[in-house]
Amino acid sequence: MVYCRARVRRVLTVVSIALTLCLTAHGSPKYKVLHSFNGSDGSAPWAGVILDSRRNVYGTTVAGGGGAGCGEEGCGAVFELTPNSKGGWVESILYNFPLGNGDGFDVHGSLLLDASGNLYGTTVNGGQTGCGRTCGTVYELMPTASGWQQTTLLEFNLSDGAEPYAGVVMDSAGNLYGTAPGGGPNTGGVAYELSPGSGGWNETVLNGFHISYYGKPAPGGSAPYAGLILGASGNLYGTTYEGGAACASGCGVVYELTPASGGGWNETVLHTFGNNVTDGVTPGWGALFMDSSGALYGTTQGGGSYGGVVFKLTPKANGRWKETILHDFDPSAYGPNAGVVMDKSGNLYGSTGNGGFQDCGVIYKLAPKPKDKWKYTVLHIFNGTDGCIPEGNLVLDKKGNLYGGTVGGGAYSNGAVFKLTP
């Protein structure tokens, strides 16, 4: 199951001018391209980036790199960007994915950095066959004196899931949790756990989503492209791209997975997206965000009055969740594939993959106002030369700076990594 997102290029001259005037009126945030990919060092950093405590930036690319057997397009790479004393950034390639050998390739998921400095991620392809091509992997990169050592922790085999587009999260015991949108016992994707053991890593399928048919959508959701987040109590939260009962094949759901007293995990659907202008449809690949009160925030690619929404789900005393639409996107900027992040003041930040100049997308801010109103401000409009089409979630450093990546654009049209100071 490979989700191919159709992109329609539109010339939105009047709207772009209006966006520029709005951006200027609110001041000019400082935007900087940290690195432009040239293909040989990677191409299309789909998943965005992560940071370590020393402000080093880590990420992955879908293609490019110098992996063996991958041809000119490359199989993707894992990279690090390190700030230098002159204000620039130095790129290091930590690993080039080769074709074959069970290592995996085609990396769309974000990285995870543990306390020991090890990196974890997923690949959409590679590993075992049985999924049309191959079913994907979960891998670990460990720093050693002679470089970074790659270990494949899991090769999906279709019956336990297939083609993981999202990365993984880790609990305090070192267990990894993730999703795969295909395969599984009910063929609609899985949520899974990997637990370290003396003989390697053991996989457990926590939830097998049912496949969603046209006219017969799966009530519990289907095709979990987005990754999981961990709540304070150890529950897991995520979204599915399809499923639910509102659309012909389902408009997607927000779900919670809770450990059952007798073993296993129980799924609870917190919200089913509706097929009308008052709600969003088809949540993107960006993970949810949970604030300190337990409220959930996320985005949908479609629905609303034009092309997606930012939503908030608030838990109520009766076990139900209340949805509030925080922003309804319009033709000036729409189609958010990434989720949102929150700063210490409660402001939300995200990006869209469409709108702005050259239809390259924007970075936006939502500031909370009284009575659950939110003020929308465009912080940056991508113009192609400074990046185009941000897909992964943004990340915040301790000073409030935002970091991310774009699939295209940059100096060589192979994508870029950026920093923005709001």
Looking at the predicted structure, is the pLDDT value of residue 380 above 80?
yes
Write down the pLDDT at residue 319.
84
| pLDDT tier, 372 (very low <50, low <70, confident <90, very high otherwise) | confident
Residue 146: how many CA atoms within 13 Å on its side-chain side? 2
Looking at the predicted structure, is the pLDDT value of residue 8 above 50?
no
Write down the pLDDT at residue 15.
43
Question: Of 265, 296, 331, which marks where a domain is finished?
Answer: 331
Domain annotation covers residue 137 = yes
Looking at the predicted structure, is the pLDDT value of residue 103 above 70?
yes
Supply angle C-alpha 81, 84, 87, rounded to 5: 100
Looking at the predicted structure, is the pLDDT value of residue 311 above 60?
yes
Same domain assignment for residues 175 and 309: yes
| pLDDT tier, 14 (very low <50, low <70, confident <90, very high otherwise) | very low
Of 418, 288, 294, whose CA–CA distance to 348 is shortest?
Answer: 288
Domain annotation covers residue 2 = no
Write down the pLDDT at residue 130.
72
pLDDT, tens digit, 9 for 90 and up, residues 32-54: 999 999 999 999 999 999 999 99
Extended beta strands in 252-387, E state = 253-259, 265-272, 280-283, 289-290, 296-303, 309-315, 321-328, 333-334, 341-342, 348-351, 354-355, 362-369, 373-381
Of 111, 209, 113, 195, whose CA–CA distance to 154 is shortest?
Answer: 195
Same domain assignment for residues 42 and 168: yes
Same domain assignment for residues 183 and 241: yes
Same domain assignment for residues 177 and 80: yes
Same domain assignment for residues 414 and 324: no
| Beta partners for residue 253, in sequence order | 240, 272
Looking at the predicted structure, is the pLDDT value of residue 110 above 50?
yes
DSSP 197: E
Write down the pLDDT at residue 71.
66
Same domain assignment for residues 150 and 18: no
| pLDDT tier, 371 (very low <50, low <70, confident <90, very high otherwise) | confident
Looking at the predicted structure, is the pLDDT value of residue 27 above 70?
no
Looking at the predicted structure, is the pLDDT value of residue 100 above 80?
no
Question: Of 296, 331, 366, which marks where a domain is finished?
Answer: 331
- Choose between 389 and 100: higher pLDDT: 389
Lowest mean pLDDT among 64-68, 294-298, 308-312, 351-355: 64-68
Domain annotation covers residue 5 = no
- What tokens appear for 271 in the block? 């919200």
Q: What is the CATH number of the domain that holds 154?
A: 2.130.10.130
Question: Of 307, 331, 355, which marks where a domain is finished?
Answer: 331
Same domain assignment for residues 114 and 242: yes
| pLDDT tier, 195 (very low <50, low <70, confident <90, very high otherwise) | very high
Domain annotation covers residue 7 = no
Same domain assignment for residues 67 and 96: yes
Looking at the predicted structure, is the pLDDT value of residue 69 above 90?
no
Looking at the predicted structure, is the pLDDT value of residue 165 above 90?
yes
Looking at the predicted structure, is the pLDDT value of residue 413 above 80?
yes
Work out the percent of the chain whose per-residue pLDDT is above 90.
78
Domain annotation covers residue 180 = yes
Q: Residue 309: which domain range?
A: 35-331
Same domain assignment for residues 271 and 353: no
Domain annotation covers residue 1 = no
Number of domains in the chain: 2
Same domain assignment for residues 311 and 348: no
Secondary structure in 3-state letters for 20-62: HHHHHHCCCCEEEEEEECCECCEECCCCCEEECCCCCEEEEEC
Looking at the predicted structure, is the pLDDT value of residue 104 above 90?
no
pLDDT, tens digit, 9 for 90 and up, residues 115-153: 999 999 999 998 877 776 689 999 999 999 999 999 999
| pLDDT tier, 3 (very low <50, low <70, confident <90, very high otherwise) | very low
pLDDT, tens digit, 9 for 90 and up, residues 206-252: 999 999 988 788 999 999 999 999 999 999 999 999 999 778 778 99
Domain annotation covers residue 231 = yes
Looking at the predicted structure, is the pLDDT value of residue 6 above 60?
no
Supply angle C-alpha 235, 237, 243, rounded to 5: 135
Same domain assignment for residues 121 and 19: no
Write down the pLDDT at residue 223.
96
DSSP secondary structure string, 348-417? EEEE-SEESGGG--EEEEEEEEGGGEEEEEEEEE--BTTBEEE-SPPEE-TTS-EEEEEEE-STTSS-EE
Q: Mean pLDDT of all residues in the chain? A: 90
pLDDT, tens digit, 9 for 90 and up, residues 327-337: 999 999 999 99
Write down the pLDDT at residue 402.
98
Looking at the predicted structure, is the pLDDT value of residue 1 above 50?
no
What number of other Cβ atoms are within 10 A of residue 149's Cβ?
Answer: 12
Write down the pLDDT at residue 216.
85
Domain annotation covers residue 67 = yes
Same domain assignment for residues 355 and 241: no
